[in-house]
Amino acid sequence: MTKKTKTVLIIMGAVIAILAAVIIVMALRGKKDTPAQTPEEPEKRSTLITEDNADEVLEEMGNREYVEPGYYNVRMNTEWHYKTGDAESEDSYVANSDMNTNDVYFDVVLAEDESQVLYKSPIIPVGKDINNIKLDKKLDAGTHECVMIYHLVDDKQETLSTLRVTLNIIVEK
């Protein structure tokens, strides 16, 4: 693991820990009754957390109403390499740490067009990991900026919360 990857993982872990603390504080304040989302309301989406906007996102989350408990300690590498666009990666790694409380699954999408789903993971139980991931969609050679969208799920596999993390996929040929 490179020094840059370790640094990114540490920063992301710290951001997630802060987010978890905000969620716990909000939970202790008590859940407010809110009306169910109607079909006319726009779909609520999570914010992509980067090093540049982490403080702003944390402040915004502190001002939101209560959300369901659930946090995720990110353990992954943020750059996956592929020899060809349809090969298995030799360095992709995503873990659901023993520190986490919920199972998780994720989708990898292209940053410029999130309708382009490159990979749909299985449910990853707490304490398990997956690696050497083969994408569901073949990619051309080059560097592809992507977003990994984590879904923290309950025992019924219903999403409690989501988390978005940037990811680069590099295809050699």
Provide the pLDDT for residue 73: 80
CA distance 47 to 126: 24
Dump pLDDT digits (tens) for 119-131: 999 999 989 999 9
Our count of domains for the chain comes to: 1
Average pLDDT over the chain, rounded to an integer:
80
What CATH number is given to the structural domain containing 159?
2.60.40.2550
pLDDT, residue 145, reads 96
Q: State the pLDDT at residue 63.
A: 58
In percent, how much of the chain has pLDDT > 90? 44
CA distance 56 to 15: 11
CA 119 vs. chain centroid, Å, equals 13
Q: What percent of the chain has pLDDT above 70?
A: 69
Strand partners, 79: 168
- pLDDT at site 29: 61
Range of the domain at 36: 3-171
Q: Looking at per-residue confidence, does 140 or 31 come out higher?
A: 140
What pLDDT shows up at residue 60?
67
Q: Which residues contact 41 (CB under 8 A, 6 or more apart)?
A: none
Q: How confident is the model at residue 101 (pLDDT cuts 50, 70, 90)?
A: confident
Whether residue 4 has pLDDT greater than 80? no
pLDDT value of position 68: 41
pLDDT of residue 65: 41
Q: What is the pLDDT of residue 66?
A: 36
pLDDT of 43 higher than 60: no
- Residues 65 and 26: their CA atoms lie apart, in Å, by 7
Cβ-based neighbours of 26, under 8 Å, separated by 6 or more: 62, 64, 65, 66, 67
Structure tokens of 58? 């944390």
Model pLDDT, residue 171: 96
